[in-house]
Amino acid sequence: MHKFAAVQMCSGLDVTVNLREASKLMAKAAAGGAELIVLPENFALMARDDAGRVAAGEVDGSGQIQDFLAEKAQSLKAWIVGGTVPVMAGRERVFARCPVYDPQGRRTAYYDKIHMFDVQVGGAESYHESARTEAGGTPTVVTTPFGKLGLAVCYDLRFPELFRALVTQGATCFAVPSAFTKTTGQRHWDMLVRARAVENLSFTVAAAQGGHHANGRDTWGRSMVVDAWGEVVAEKRDAEPGVVTGVFDPLQQSRLRGKFPALSHRKLV
C-alpha cells in the first residue's frame, strides 16, 4: 500500500512566499508518510494577470520554481507532482506545465495542460486562459513504483475523453492539480473528481487552491483523495491551507477492476 497526499494552498503574488508555504505543507505530508505529494495548480504564483504569469515564466528545466521542486523531491524522498509551473512557450506565452519529480530529484515527465479555461462563469466573472497560455496536446502517463500515474489539470476534469486516453495508456491513478473557482467549485468539483475516478476505476488525488487570493480571485479548495470505487478517502472540508492523505492499495484496485470489468466492456474506443 502507498500513501498519497494532496496539498491545498492559497497562493499569492510573491513566488518566494508561496514556495516557503509549499515547503511547510510538503514537509508535513512527508512526515505523515506520503510517497506521492501533489501540489495545486499555480502553487508558486497566482498572478495578478496574464502578463504577470508570463513575466514569471521559466525556461524548461531550470528556474526558481523548478529547482525548488527538484530539491524538495530529493530532500523529502518523495515523488512530487509540481502543480503547474509557467514555462516559456515563446516570447509572450507560457505553458501551464505539470512536472513530476522522483525521490532523487529528477524530473521524470511533464504534462502541458490541454484544455484552456476560456469561459464566462457569471455576469462579471470571466476567464481567457488561452490569451497567454499555450495549450498542450499530449496526454501523459508516468511510470512509478506505485503504478502508472495519469496527469490532468483543473479544467481538464470536464473532459472525460482525456482520462480515457490516460487509462488506455495504462493509468491506474490520477493526479489533478487544480484551482477551481468558488463559483464552479461549489457546484461541480466533488461530482467531477468522483466521476473521473469511478468511471475509470482509478485512484485520484485532486489538490486545490482555496480561499481569497491577492489577485482578487476566490477558489473553492476542498482538496480530496478518491478511491477507484468513487469513495472519498480523505477530504479538506474547507478552503484553508493544509494537507489530506489517503492510502492507495494497487492489489485491491486490481481485484476491483477484475470483478467489475467496466473498462474492458467499452464498445466505443
- Of 3.60.110.10, 3.30.1330.10, 3.40.50.720, 3.90.1170.20, the CATH number of 2-260 is 3.60.110.10
pLDDT in tens, 7-59: 999 999 999 999 999 999 999 999 999 999 999 999 999 998 888 999 999 99
Residue 87 contacts by C-beta under 8 Å, 6 or more apart in sequence?
57, 58, 59, 60, 94, 95, 97
Quick check: 249 pLDDT over 90? yes
Give the per-residue pLDDT at 85.
98
113-155 pLDDT, tens digit per residue, is: 999 999 988 777 888 999 999 999 999 999 999 999 999 999 9
199, with CB counted inside 10 A (0-12, 13-18, 19+), is middle
pLDDT mean across residues, the chain: 96
Q: How far apart are the first and last CA of the chain?
A: 31
The whole-number average pLDDT for the span 153-161 is 98
pLDDT digits (tens, 9 = 90+) for 71-101: 999 999 999 999 999 999 988 999 999 999 9
At residue 123, the pLDDT reads 73
Sign of the torsion formed by the C-alpha atoms of 173, 247, 99 and 132: positive
> 105 pLDDT exceeds 90?
yes
User: Strand 107-112 to strand 85-88: parallel, antiparallel, or no bridges (unpaired)?
Assistant: unpaired
Domain ranges of the chain: 2-260
The total of other beta-carbon atoms located within 10 Å of residue 65's CB is 26
Sorting pLDDT into bands at 50, 70 and 90, what band is 269? confident
The C-alpha atoms of residue 18 and residue 31 are separated, in whole angstroms, by: 20
DSSP string, 198-261: HHTT-EEEEEEBEEE-TTS-EEE---EEE-TTS-EEEE--SSSSEEEEEEE-HHHHHHHHHHS-
pLDDT score for 91: 83
pTM of whole model > 0.85?
yes
Mean pLDDT of 215-221: 95
Q: Annotated active-site positions, please?
A: 41, 113, 154
In the chain, what percentage of residues exceed pLDDT 90? 93
